[in-house]
Structure 1
Amino acid sequence: MTHIDYYFSTISPYAYLAGDRFEAVAKKHGAKVTYKPLDIMGLFGRTGGTSPKDRHVSRQEYRAQELERQAQKLEMDFNLKPAHWPTNAAPSSYAIIAAQKAGGGDLGKLCQSVLRACWAGEQDIAQDEVVKTCLSEAGFDPALADSGLLVGAETYSRNLEDAVSAGVFGSPFYVTETGARFWGQDRLEDLDLHLAGKL
């Protein structure tokens, strides 16, 4: 069975714009997915990137235009300047890690719910009640937001190290078991073609 490591940040607008398309590609090819939420600012610092607020104004302006274009193209609700961004991505990431370990729900739906809460729902995904609602909506026990803290913190830190070792430098980032890397929601078609043996 094909395996894909999915590296992403729960505060990444581009991970939000991926919607459920990655899960659809993985399902199409019978691929097993390991979800690896990580500290995106930490990743930028380790791989030569910079925080959006610290980028040259030309890069900030282009990012804004591109995000709004992609959201329109994908017909997704999107707020370029959400009320609670940037926020602490750790609580939602810990919950995703705990949910992956516990099983029993829809992990893709959980990730999408968290990202949508941030980028379309004007909610602070660092708040327990928001995370618990997302867990419930995806079929998980909301108590995972409390019980998974220790393991979540350890795995969250390890995910960053794994990402650096795997050549990951942004979010979303998809790495196959053969080491093929695909960066960005706009590379999901390429991932699909790769898994089909056409690319």
Structure 2
Amino acid sequence: MAHIDYYFATISPYTYLAGTRLEEIAAKHGATITYKPLDIIAQFGRTGGTPPKDRHVSRQEYRAQELVRQAKKLGMPFNLQPAHWPTNMAPSSYAFIAAQNAGGGDLGALAHGITKACWVDEKNVAEDEVIRECLEAAGFDPALADSGLLAGAETYARNLEDAVEAGAFGAPFYVVDDGARFWGQDRLEDLDLHLAGKL
């Protein structure tokens, strides 16, 4: 049975555009997933990337066009300039880690719900109330937003180290236990083919 380490950021637009396709692919192939939310800005710094605001204007313009195109292609609502971006990723990441440890809900729905809150619903995913709403909607105890903060902080930091060690340099990033790596929501089809033994 294949296993996938899923590196993502709770404020990443491309993580939002991934939707719940990873979970559908994993279910199709009987693969398991470990979710690893991380600080994508720190990841950029560690792996040779540049935060969006610091990129050359041509790259910023292309990113804006590409995000809108991908959203249309996927039939997903999308706001290119959300009211609360960038924002602090840590609180939602800690809550996600607590939810993964607690179990009982749908982690794919939670990851999508948090990113959708940012990129569609104009909510600040650094706020406890928003995080609680996302937890509850995905079948988790909303009180998880207030628990396990120290463990969450430790795991969050370790996820970044794991990502760097695994060769992950963006989000979403998928690392299969056979060493295959896939970067971006637009590579999910390739991940599917790989798990099927066709790629």
Q: Which letter maps to 1:44?
A: F
Q: How does the TM-score come out when normalised to structure 2? A: 0.99
Paired residue type of 1:88: N
* Count of matched residue positions in the alignment of Structure 1 and Structure 2: 199
**Separation (CA, whole Å) in 2 of partners of 1:188 and 1:147:** 33
Task: Provide structure 1 residue ranges, at least 5 long, that are not aligned to the other structure.
Answer: none
For 1:113-128, list aligned pairs within 5 A: 113-128=113-128
TM-score (norm 1): 0.99
Deviations 1:168-187 (A, max 9, x none): 00000000001100000000
1:139-196 superposed Cα distances (whole Å, 9 cap, x missing partner)? 1001111012111100000000000000000000000001100000000000000000
Q: Does 1:196 align with 2:168?
A: no
Secondary structure, aligned partner of 1:85: coil
Match of 1:68 in 2: 68
Q: Which runs of 4+ in 1 moved over 3 A?
A: none
Kindly state the Cα deviation for residue 112 of structure 1 after the two structures are TM-superposed: 0.5
Report how far residue 74 of structure 1 moved.
0.6
- The match for 1:182 is 182
In structure 1, C-alpha distance between the alignment counterparts of 2:75 and 2:14, rounded to whole Å: 14
Identity of aligned residues (%): 76
Give how far 1:20 is off. Answer: 1.0
Q: How does 1:11-160 map to 2 (within 5 A)?
A: 11-160=11-160
Instruction: Give structure 2 stretches of 5+ with no counterpart.
Output: none
**Aligned partner letter, 1:155:** T
Distance 1:18 1:158 in 2: 23
Query: Which letter does structure 1 place at the counterpart of 2:40?
Result: I
